[in-house]
A and B are shown apart, each in its own frame.
Chain A
Amino acid sequence: MLLKKNSLVLKGALFIAASMVFVACGSDAPTDETIAPTEDSVVAEVQTEELTYSLPSPLQIASIFKKSGLKYKAGITSDLKDPAKYTSNLNKAINLGVYSADLSYAVLNKQNQEAMTYMKLSRQLADNLGMGTVFDQGNLSTRFEKNLSNEDSLAYIIAELQMVTDMYLDENDQQQITSIVFSGAWVESMYIGSKVYEKGKDKSLNGKLAEQMTILGSIINALKAEEKKDAAIGGLIADLVIVKDVYDALPSVKNNPAGEDDAEKELTLTDDEVTQLTTKIEVLRAKFING
């Protein structure tokens, strides 16, 4: 009996040992790891990885426009208030960005009811994308409603919402959503900026519109890096490239070689150039909103 028990334990131990050998063998990739590198080769070789991107938040873009004197103009934000219309994940994410930009614009201009509407619409779209729970973290939705009369508090709540959203998407390996959402927000912000510029022709706003164009290349590259996760991103990239090409061909841009290096110099576009740019932005924005 004792012998049988020992035999049983022995069998178990042998099985474990075999499992360990199996696991150990399986975890080693059959690559050049068996060749011990020399000290020289370790020091000399530096593997350079592809450039990655950290895009700003829609709230910061809205804040920059606001500081430049962007006034509130009723009726220019998205009036399509039926998130169920958007069926593909790409369109849902783009329009979540559009709503985020409209929400930021409303908050910074103390349009409380409008802000509440866009908060609810953003929540619905986030739910449709399967990430609605981010609105419940730290009671963000409730705090937003309670602080409707306090612009500063609302801005901090939106910033916090951005943080929990970024973290959620990172944890779920859905960084492509971050880039798509920002694309929608950026186009909507540019649309709002250009519509307000049309009315007042404010020079400061002109400079901010031009400055925003300098990050379009980063947005496109960030999307390209995520293209393998969703083939539909290719169409969005193509649309944004059209806008970038128009901007890059403008005479004021071509004749401004110092623009990238000078930390203080803002580029000013002619009214005709702003119109050319605005036309392309309007077309793209309509495409986004119509789904």
Chain B
Amino acid sequence: MKYEVFTNTLKKTLKMSKKAFCISLVGLIFVFGFTTIQTADNCDKKALTTSCKKKLDPYKYDSQKFTKINFTKKAQQLEVEVPIFIGEKYRLVFNTSGMPKGIKINVYTKDKEAKKREAIFSNKDAKADETQLIFDVPRARKMYVDYDVPADSTNAKLTGCMIFMVGYK
């Protein structure tokens, strides 16, 4: 009799512990899962590539450059050098849909260390909902794609990614 009572009590205890464990596990999955989703940069490289490629035609694909951008309390300037060649025709396609908020895009023929340089392309007149930008490049020897990322003082740890694709014909 005593043995039966003991066994039943043990079974109940184990059942309750199992429930507590399950509830805790679900809770942990929820908490960590939610955190992971919050910190991911949500950069779907395949979708961005496919989207840019559509706008590249009739130019032939040459290269593409993804740049991961972490917004910080300081404004940032990121620069990508793109070599180009005499007599070739080039197109650049930018896609900003991987960005959580707007950044300035400028293209120069000289790097940021140059004393004087003028932008040959800028997104300053682009509409807010315009996520794809096309730039047919004039004659030049090199291009410098600059991303001017504004400061973010909200502590939201925003991240995003920029892509540009280069085509030639």
Query: Which positions in A face B, CB cutoff 8 Å?
Result: 4, 8-9, 11-13, 15-16, 19-20, 23, 27, 33, 36-37, 42-43, 45-49, 51-57, 59-60, 63-64, 67, 155-156, 159-160, 162-163, 166-167, 170-171, 211, 214-215, 218, 221, 260-264, 266
A15 to B46, CA, bound (A): 39
A37-B153, A46-B76, A166-B64 are known contacts. Are A215 and B83 too (CB-CB below 8 A)? yes
| Residue contact B81 to A54, C-beta cutoff 8 Å | yes
- Please tell me if the beta carbons of B27 and A56 are within 8 angstroms of each other in the complex: no
- Name A207's closest neighbour in chain B (CB-CB): B86
Residues of chain A lying within 8 A (CB to CB) of residue B61: 57, 159-160, 162-163
Q: Which residues of B contact A63 (CB under 8 A)?
A: 168
Q: Which of B72, B86, B142 contacts A266 (CB 8 A)?
A: B86
- Does residue B112 face the partner (Cβ distance < 8 Å to A)? yes
Asked whether B31 lies within 8 Å of A20 as measured between CB atoms, the reply is yes
Q: List 24 A-B contacts (CB under 8 A).
A: A11-B20, A12-B20, A12-B27, A15-B28, A16-B31, A19-B27, A23-B35, A46-B77, A47-B74, A48-B112, A52-B67, A52-B78, A54-B65, A56-B62, A60-B85, A60-B88, A64-B87, A159-B61, A166-B64, A167-B46, A171-B45, A211-B85, A214-B141, A263-B86
Tell me if A56 and B83 are in contact (CB < 8 A).
Answer: yes
Is B8's CB within 8 Å of the partner chain A? Answer: no
- State the CA gap A27–B37 with chains docked (Å): 13
CA distance A266 to B87 in the complex (A): 10
Q: Is the CB of A8 within 8 A of B23?
A: yes
Residue pair B30, A211 in contact (C-beta under 8 Å): no
> Which residues of the partner chain B approach A264 to less than 8 Å between Cβ atoms?
86, 139
Q: Is the CB of A43 within 8 A of B151?
A: yes
A229 CB to nearest chain B CB (Å): 16
Q: Which residues of the partner chain B approach A67 to less than 8 Å between Cβ atoms? A: 87
Partner of A16, one of B28, B76, B83, B139: B28
Bound Cα distance from A51 to B82, whole angstroms: 11
Q: Mask for B28-46, Cβ within 8 A of A = 1, else 0?
A: 1011100100010000011
Query: A16-B31, A19-B31 are contacts. A52–B80 as well, Cβ < 8 Å?
Result: yes
Distance of A48 Cα from B75 Cα, bound (Å) = 9
A19, A51, A60: most-surrounded residue (chain B CB, <10 A): A60
- B49, A167: Cβ atoms closer than 8 Å: yes
CA distance A266 to B88 in the complex (A): 13
Known: A54-B65, A163-B49. A49 touches B87 (CB 8 A): no
List residues of chain B with CB under 8 Å of any chain A CB: 16, 19-20, 23-24, 27-28, 30-32, 35, 39, 45-46, 49, 53, 60-67, 72-83, 85-88, 109, 111-112, 139-142, 145, 151, 153, 155, 164, 166, 168
CA distance A133 to B62 in the complex (A): 20
Residue of B nearest to A37 (CB): B73
Which residues of the other chain, A, contact B23 by a CB distance below 8 angstroms? 8-9, 11-12, 15
Distance, CA A235 to CA B78, complexed state (A): 28
Q: How far is the CA of A155 from the CA of B83 in the complex (A)?
A: 21
B81, A263: Cβ atoms closer than 8 Å: no
Q: Which chain B residues border A43 with CB–CB below 8 Å?
A: 75, 151
How far in angstroms is the closest Cβ of chain A from B82?
5
The answer to whether B31 and A51 touch across the interface, beta carbons within 8 angstroms, is no
A167 & B141 in contact (Cβ 8 Å cutoff): no
Could you say which residues of chain B place their CB within 8 Å of the CB of A64?
Answer: 85, 87-88
Task: From known contacts A12-B20, A23-B35, infer whether A49 and B81 are also in contact, taking CB-CB under 8 Å.
Answer: no
Other A-B contacts than A23-B32, A47-B75, 20 sampled, CB-CB below 8 A, are A11-B24, A15-B24, A19-B27, A23-B31, A23-B35, A36-B153, A42-B75, A45-B74, A46-B74, A47-B76, A64-B87, A67-B87, A159-B61, A163-B49, A167-B49, A167-B64, A170-B64, A171-B46, A218-B81, A263-B141
Contacting pair B79 A54 (CB below 8 A) = no
Min C-beta distance of A262 to chain B, whole Å: 8
The answer for the CA separation of A218 and B79 in the assembled complex, in Å, is: 13
Q: Are B53 and A163 in contact (CB under 8 A)?
A: yes
